[in-house]
A and B are shown apart, each in its own frame.
Chain A
Amino acid sequence: MTSTQAGPWRQIGWRNLGRHPKRTAITAIGLGVGYFAVVFLVGWSSGLMAQMVENGTGLVSGQIEIHDTDYRPDRSLYDTIGGREGADISAIIRTIASDPAVVAAAPRLYAGGLISSGNSTSAGMLMGIDPSLELDLTRFLDDLVEGRIVEPGRNELLVGDELARQLGAGVGDEVVLVAPGADGSMGNDLFTIAGIFHSGLAFIDSRYGVLPLDTLQTLIVMDTGRIHEVAVSTADPWIATEAAGRLTAALGPMDLDIEVAPWTELRPEMVEYVALGESFYFLIIAIVFGIAMFGVANTMLMGTYERRREFAVMLALGTSPRHIVLTVVYEAIALGAVSLVAGFVVTLPVMVWWHNAPPDLGWLYGEVTVMGALIRPSLRVEYDVAVWIWSSVALLLTALLAALYPAARAARVPPADALSGL
């Protein structure tokens, strides 16, 4: 077959689209909507996953956590970074902050204790922070429900809104903190509630008391160089693993016996959840285009059946059945291409719009906590180039596969019978 002979079949296929413009348009819209559905569903799902990962790692914990190697999973009060002697915290923070992927790093100290106000007492988790560094890192203290952030050196405390409710205490009220000290004593002191936060995560809002690092160290009789954790945030959750590797190397010379764990290691269930979500993307593509395929097949079957006489004439004039198949297949591919363009033209602006300004879905459902991460009700979508490409391929394949059977039927039209009106 020469190239000049290849031409006409393609043209015939293309021109056939114009015979029933309305039918072509409806089928193309069907395929285009399918394309939009796939790209949108996958984009929305990615958006939920991204939100889960961002909130799961950015709201409180940070994308990377550095601990003493013995700290996890028991989280013992005594397993501080650098052991009993502690470490030069500011040097550690400086080293970490010099990594290009790192946005912020902050030291933390934890202690279990009692928070008591009047006749109400709750068991809580006390978290000692460096207020200025912490604000760069986490988001849950950014917008306090009430009051202000704690100041270093003062007996001040931030509590979650649920804990404040349980204690019946508000900003300005005095509470007693009791925590077992590192020397076996029972540390206790009076604190003033400086502010109330709402993270949206029930276990944080109902249990956490946040206070200045140095004040907590005094309460539980710990030296100033002793902390449990350095939390680190990276520009993008997905570069955390790489950055953790670099930080391990950078902190190596300090000889601290620490582990630098990215969230993918700290929260493997979250990684698995994302992988599970991604495995569904192909299922979505298969289902949506599987349905679309029958629509296209129906159109093509109708189109070829109407043209039985035409195919009979072509065959009678010496066109080979292979070329009949080609004209039908080319028609389907042309239809697919038109649909793809139409789908793309509709999908792109919508995705850009919803990515940048996600519509609020608060009227449909409330805040959801998945894997300990807060997800807000919105139509936030993510782009995923691979999915766009796969959907395009799937659309063209759908059109092609849907055309095979009608094309085979067309090629097997018996010329004499068809022309004689049978």
Chain B
Amino acid sequence: MRIGSACRSKVLMVLMVLGVGWPAQAQTAEEIIERVDRLLRGDSSHGVTRMQVVTEHWEREMTLELWSLGTDHSLVRLLAPAKEAGTATLMADDDIWNYLPKVDRTIKVPASMMGGSWMGSHFTNDDLVKESQLIEDYDVEMIFDGEHDGVGVWEFRLTPKPEAAVVWGYVDYQVRKDDYMPLWARYFDEDERLSRTTEFSDFRNLGGRIVPAVMNMRPADKPNERTTMIYDEIEFDIDIDASFFSLQSLKRRR
């Protein structure tokens, strides 16, 4: 009895290692999306990224150092440009604080400004704090399974659950079949109009896993504008706990 069971497990393991045991189709849409979601976040992370913002009126590039823990805590500190270095943002639960080194003050972003731009980018403050696990907030449905330009992809439609605090009407994701890499996400408003598109590219090994190193977000109403995040370094599942995400850390200068 015991031996038989052990044998079966071994066979199963071999099959898995050979990659023949579990046809991808056997996974549910939720499982794929959860995998994609975890890929981009990890339980915790620490990294350095460049953020390029291009608007009709100006272009700028910032270098940011960021820490995150789960979906509720993150801290971002500006490393460059030098004039603004030290400016930092702390997100804890649903609140955002900005630290301004020039005046040495910490300012909590008022509720009325949560829809405002974060550091001049196309992300709003709300985008940062409302982030949550996709499968918690959305019902996932596969809407395409086939090939695009010779690449096998799935497309999913994520429709917010009734109680979810989400501003989107729905979100479509395209995921590459062979390595589960997201290719793009399209965000639609409640009138089903395209609101923004995020494209993922430059899939590289960073911090021990293959991740898209470049994330490019374009608002649909301003086709010539974009915010691009380029990860230079990232490490996942670092030793950090919630106490790190405090107002004291926010002020700490490097």
Do A176 and B110 touch across chains, with their CB atoms under 8 A apart? no
Smallest Cβ distance from A401 to chain B, in angstroms?
A: 61
Residue B84 lies at the interface, judged by CB distance under 8 Å to chain A: yes
Residue A121 lies at the interface, judged by CB distance under 8 Å to chain B: yes
Q: Which residue of B lies closest to A78 (CB)?
A: B57
Q: Which residue of A lies closest to B110 (CB)?
A: A121
A189 to B104, CA, bound (A): 10
Residue B15 lies at the interface, judged by CB distance under 8 Å to chain A: no
Size range of the interface on A?
A: 10 to 19
| 8 Å CB contact of B113 from A114, A176, A185 | A114
Can you list, as one digit per residue, whether each of A62-86 has a CB less than 8 Å from chain B (1) or not (0)?
0000000000000000100000000
Given contacts A78-B57, A114-B113, contact A185 B103 (CB under 8 A): no
Smallest Cβ distance from A75 to chain B, in angstroms?
A: 15
| 8 Å CB contact of A121 from B57, B87, B103, B107 | B107
Decide if the interface of chain A is mainly helix, strand, loop or mixed.
strand
Do B60 and A189 touch across chains, with their CB atoms under 8 A apart? no
Smallest Cβ distance from A298 to chain B, in angstroms?
A: 64
A141 to B103, CA, bound (A): 28
**Interface of chain B residues 36 through 78 with chain A (CB within 8 A):** 53, 55-60
**Interface of chain B residues 172 through 203 with chain A (CB within 8 A):** none
**Interface of chain A residues 141 through 197 with chain B (CB within 8 A):** 176, 178, 180, 182-186, 188-190
Do A176 and B55 touch across chains, with their CB atoms under 8 A apart? no
Smallest Cβ distance from B164 to chain A, in angstroms?
A: 26
Question: Chain A residues with Cβ under 8 A from B113's Cβ?
Answer: 114, 123
Do B110 and A184 touch across chains, with their CB atoms under 8 A apart? no
A383 to B18, CA, bound (A): 98
Smallest Cβ distance from A333 to chain B, in angstroms?
A: 67
Given contacts A186-B84, A186-B119, contact A121 B60 (CB under 8 A): no
Given contacts A116-B105, A180-B120, contact A123 B57 (CB under 8 A): no
| 8 Å CB contact of A183 from B56, B58, B110, B112 | B58
Question: Chain A residues with Cβ under 8 A from B98's Cβ?
Answer: 178, 186
Do B55 and A116 touch across chains, with their CB atoms under 8 A apart? no
Q: Which residue of A lies closest to B60 (CB)?
A: A184
Question: Chain B residues with Cβ under 8 A from A186's Cβ?
Answer: 84, 87, 98, 100, 119-120
What are 22 residue pairs bridging A and B, where the CB atoms are less than 8 Å apart in the complex?
A: A78-B56, A119-B108, A121-B108, A122-B110, A123-B113, A180-B117, A180-B120, A182-B58, A184-B53, A184-B55, A184-B57, A184-B58, A184-B59, A184-B60, A185-B83, A185-B84, A185-B120, A186-B98, A186-B119, A186-B120, A189-B102, A189-B103
Q: For the complex of A and B, list the 10 residue pairs with the smallest distance between their C-beta atoms, beginning with the closest.
A: A184-B120, A184-B58, A184-B60, A188-B100, A116-B107, A123-B112, A176-B105, A123-B113, A190-B103, A121-B110
